[in-house]
Amino acid sequence: MGHPTTVLASVDSTNRWMRAQWNQGTVQAGAAVWADEQTAGRGRLGREWDSPAGLNIYTSILWTPDKNRLTGIMSLVAGIALVQAVRNQMGLDARLKWPNDAVVGGRKFGGILVEAGHEPQPWAIVGLGINVNGEPNPLFSHATTLEKARGRGIDRESLWVHVMGELEKAYTDWQARGESWVQATWTACNATLGQTVRVERPGHPAWVGVAEALDTDGGLWVQGDQGRQKVISGEVSVRLA
Ligand code: BTN
């Protein structure tokens, strides 16, 4: 998969930009876009993604997977790639908080938003937001930046190249080795299993349990007072209790 890349000074959202290109038929699998700033960056669960200029990475890549198009799995694959890139390039102990918040020292430095569909063929836009340089936005108390975690500034371009390389590797491994590879690799670099978590789903009472295992479909098995339940991403947030 090559990476014909579009670099933009400013865009509303790289995911939205890629979607518009896909709808117009002007991009193919492997196309990537990177913006210095987003004016309407989007996060999971309808949240906004803070996207100031000059500091971070906001990037989206187009995938057209030929098997198992579960959005939940794709976002885990992308999360694996992101933490591998940070581990390899900086030696930081980057980990994944289910489903795919990238954390270091328990604080979030990266997030992934996958949007997928089937027309005119199965597609997915994998968007990554990485807090690279500067101080985290004080409005987000659980956030950090890689510069803060590492104690010195980071070359964004070189990190972006590493992330793209790891995305390609993880995508190829997933397609060749299947969901059990995703399950084992995610489990090896996660920060959620074994922890007590609080499961919050809009319109439902929150509940607390112990995160026990990742399913091959990307769901999280949580043991609570009412028994063991599989939590599916997309609709819930899971916080350490
Ligand atoms: C999350 O809520 O953790 C996911 C955040 C995803 C943010 C990235 S930044 C690049 C891409 N474009 C967007 O509008 N969102 C994603």
Let me know whether 136 and 211 are in one domain: no
d(CA 99, CA 79): 8
Distance of alpha carbon 1 from the chain centroid = 20
Distance of alpha carbon 71 from the chain centroid = 11
Number of domains the chain is built from: 2
Let me know whether 175 and 202 are in one domain: no
Q: The CATH number of the domain where 207 resides is what?
A: 2.30.30.100
> What pLDDT was estimated at residue 112?
96
Residue 19: CB within 6 Å of ligand 1?
no
Which residues in the chain come in under a pLDDT of 50? Answer: none
Rounded to the nearest whole angstrom, what is the distance from the C-alpha of residue 227 to the centroid of ligand 1? Answer: 33
Q: What is the pTM of this model?
A: 0.94
Residue 56: CB within 6 Å of ligand 1?
no
Residue 89: CB within 6 Å of ligand 1?
no
> What pLDDT was estimated at residue 99?
86
> What pLDDT was estimated at residue 185?
97
Let me know whether 114 and 26 are in one domain: yes
54-92 core/surface letters (b: 16 or more CB in 10 A; e: else): ebbbbbbbbbebeeebbbbbbbbbbbbbbbbbbbebbeb
Let me know whether 90 and 121 are in one domain: yes
> What pLDDT was estimated at residue 4?
85
d(CA 169, CA 159): 15
Residue 112: CB within 6 Å of ligand 1?
yes
For residue 202, what are the domain limits? 196-240
Let me know whether 40 and 151 are in one domain: yes
Assembly ipTM: 0.99
Residue 174: CB within 6 Å of ligand 1?
no
| Bridging pattern class, strands 227-231 and 220-224 | antiparallel
Q: Is 103 strand, coil or helix?
A: strand
Q: What are the C-alpha distances in Å from 66 to residues 165, 182, 183?
A: 20, 16, 19
Rounded to the nearest whole angstrom, what is the distance from the C-alpha of residue 49 to the centroid of ligand 1? Answer: 6
Residue closest by Cα to atom 11 of ligand 1:
127
> What pLDDT was estimated at residue 119?
84
Tens of pLDDT, residues 91-150: 999 999 998 899 999 999 999 999 999 888 889 999 999 999 999 888 887 999 999 999
Let me know whether 103 and 9 are in one domain: yes
> What pLDDT was estimated at residue 205?
87
d(CA 182, CA 74): 9
> What pLDDT was estimated at residue 65?
86
Q: What are the C-alpha distances in Å from 157 to residues 60, 149, 168, 182?
A: 15, 18, 17, 27
Let me know whether 80 and 175 are in one domain: yes
